[in-house]
Structure 1
């Protein structure tokens, strides 16, 4: 049995049969074969801000709307997002962009669970309503200044990080206003396997409005893992399908979609043990969301990017993968990217980039 597949099944013993599932015969067997050169002038950037992530959708009038995270560059990248990020909204006439900033979709709202930070958005539509999934946080006191943030080395031990929760907002217009819930849809379980953090929501809304939500947690002593919750409606309530991770592989930044009765995930290979390249993309398939197997080619993408002008670069970051889905098919890959040699402390610029995809048969 494939070593990775075995590791996927280990957490499920006691919950499900540990027999190896049949290999899903999904429509896409090698995601990397779909990648086309990335437009040099595409995506979304703002010179005075760190830009991270990016989730796009097409509106009825043919315009493309992108939701991303931003925070001022005066703050250090890794510490700054926890305290100062906001979900913003940008638009373009073309799916690859460039996208132009339009407004702050989810600003601060003091007194709530997401009162001082919103981040990592994913936009979905069900019937005539748009649902914007995201993470948020709050904390006591004033937001720390740039000098104070630079002195923080273990951001994950701070209340601002520990208070991260997953939420959802809704609107009948991509221009808002967005109606937010008073409470998060998912929070850490104090004594559960995901007690450290719940973050990076990856929702898939089914035709009946039920939601399959893959999210990232952290298991003490072992690292990042993916987990699975479900709800009968986008607004919840959400329940853990399994009280354990759905994978022992060290991955994060999942994106989930369904095509031709097969589910797919793109995720970030934290150590490179799956793809052979640290922080490259992992491609997974499933018929049963509790039992995932690697795609025929497990490497979905590399940090080595080919551009439309014929050049090739190794990006410092290429993560938070999300897809633009049109007519039930992925047409463009959106990713957070950075310059520099790699590592959040070594980037001078971050932005959202877009890679067009060949259309599967």
Structure 2
């Protein structure tokens, strides 16, 4: 029996044994061969049935109340059949911001908008980005031919900035993200970087880090992937941060309600009292379900409300008319530790989008997403991002304004046109956006799938 990556190739061994049986006429030997073959098949079946077992080192969920005692976390509960909205509790709403100004500005007489910090434009629907440099946040790493793809950052009490980013192992490009991505920790004296990678926080496969501060002061790093150290694309297929040879992309597996999601496409988290760690990993919090309109769950973003309720937003992918459709889904929990349940089996809004980032300011909600429509992919220099806003976190309005694009203005007055700009994440200070973190690809992936992470300051 040969076992690797949850695959048992027992039929090859069986064929070899049968050849031996035909060569030897002794009944005892034949009986022994058949007995060994049967035992092998049974062992193969046992290993196959255990392929969904949790990865060693990850704490399986238990009950929600135990997280307060630093014990195990709760498992995912059943989906909500009717999409019942949770009791969100009282929030301090910004009464003077209005939908006309995308909830990012105050409405003035004559239909004018007075934009809040970080926003600009006639209706306050555009991020007020400061012209910067064409350098990525990881200067040395990018020059060395390493692909990174988005990050989440926070400032420690000491003043040092910590950034958690997705990095591709084996010198591969972003096309290998679903097997070769790992999460690294980097530091810098300033939010703009450059950041120095200090360690690998979670080995491959792990992706899409999203850092949240819990009400008790703990740091929660939501992510996807088991982080079991298995990477599907070897170094021979990659060079200088790009994928140079064809490879087979791994796929997720749906499971029936009540089962633990298998594979790597589930949402987990790591918890620490300080940004330096140590980090305790928990999961899965949310995985694929049979009957749901989902083929993949990635890119978590969590908003924790004043009453403790947590809203978990994520990218959901499904096939429709032979095309991949990307939407935003939402799950809810009474506590950020879970258990989480889906509020609906349909997307949060109709617009095609992925990579959600959600934050609250003054009791209202904002969301940045990557525009995954045909316009967003065909003309990213104009339509890379989308902005949505909400007063309750459940009912969203997608703004017609484009908050950011793949066209980056430099301090010297020139413009750089990138092929892709995805994975938006903000550095939010006192409820106001201070910097935009995005994943950048300079060339179309059909030519070179190298990527890097950029931090651009906001006014």
TM-score range, shorter chain: 0.7 to 0.9
Equivalent in 229, 234, 246 of residue 151 of structure 1: 246
Give 1:309 shift: 2.9
Determine if contact 1:106/1:178 at 8 Å carries over to the other structure: no
Determine if contact 1:52/1:350 at 8 Å carries over to the other structure: yes
Superposition map of 1:1-361 within 5 A: 23=99, 26-28=103-105, 29-41=123-135, 43-45=137-139, 46=141, 47-72=144-169, 74-79=171-176, 81-107=177-203, 116-126=204-214, 127-137=216-226, 143-147=232-236, 150-152=245-247, 155=249, 157=251, 163-181=264-282, 183-194=283-294, 196-221=295-320, 223-273=325-375, 277-278=379-380, 280-295=384-399, 297-340=400-443, 342=444, 344-347=445-448, 349-358=450-459
TM-score by length of 1: 0.81
Runs of 4+ residues over 6 Å off in structure 1 = 138-142
User: Is the deviation greater in 40-49 or in 123-132?
Assistant: 40-49
The CA distance in 1 between the partners of 2:84 and 2:292, in whole Å, is 19
Give 1:146 shift: 4.0
The CA distance in 1 between the partners of 2:212 and 2:229, in whole Å, is 32
Give 1:249 shift: 1.5
Rg larger in structure: 2
How big is each residue's C-alpha offset from its partner over 1:62-118, in whole Å with a ceiling of 9 and x where there is no partner? Answer: 111111011235334302x222211001111111111111111123xxxxxxxx411
The CA distance in 1 between the partners of 2:449 and 2:379, in whole Å, is 22
Residues 284/276 of structure 1: CA separation in 2 closer, same or farther (3 Å cut): farther
Aligned residues: 326
Gaps of 5+ in 2: 1-81, 86-97, 106-122, 238-242, 254-261
Determine if contact 1:42/1:96 at 8 Å carries over to the other structure: no
Give 1:305 shift: 0.6
The CA distance in 1 between the partners of 2:455 and 2:138, in whole Å, is 9
SS at match of 1:49: coil
Give 1:235 shift: 1.8
The CA distance in 2 between the partners of 1:95 and 1:310, in whole Å, is 23
Residues 156/38 of structure 1: CA separation in 2 closer, same or farther (3 Å cut): farther
The CA distance in 2 between the partners of 1:138 and 1:129, in whole Å, is 21
- Which structure has more strand as a fraction of its residues? 1
The CA distance in 2 between the partners of 1:303 and 1:237, in whole Å, is 37
SS at match of 1:83: helix
CA RMSD across the alignment: 2.9
Determine if contact 1:65/1:89 at 8 Å carries over to the other structure: yes
TM-score by length of 2: 0.65
Gaps of 5+ in 1: 1-13, 108-115
- Which structure has more helix as a fraction of its residues? 2
User: Is the deviation greater in 273-282 or in 229-238?
Assistant: 273-282
**Which structure has more RCO (C-alpha within 8 Å, separation ≥ 6)?**
1
How big is each residue's C-alpha offset from its partner over 1:136-193, in whole Å with a ceiling of 9 and x where there is no partner? Answer: 047998744245683336x26477x964111111001111121001x31000112212
The CA distance in 2 between the partners of 1:142 and 1:162, in whole Å, is 13
The CA distance in 1 between the partners of 2:231 and 2:455, in whole Å, is 36
Residues 208/346 of structure 1: CA separation in 2 closer, same or farther (3 Å cut): farther
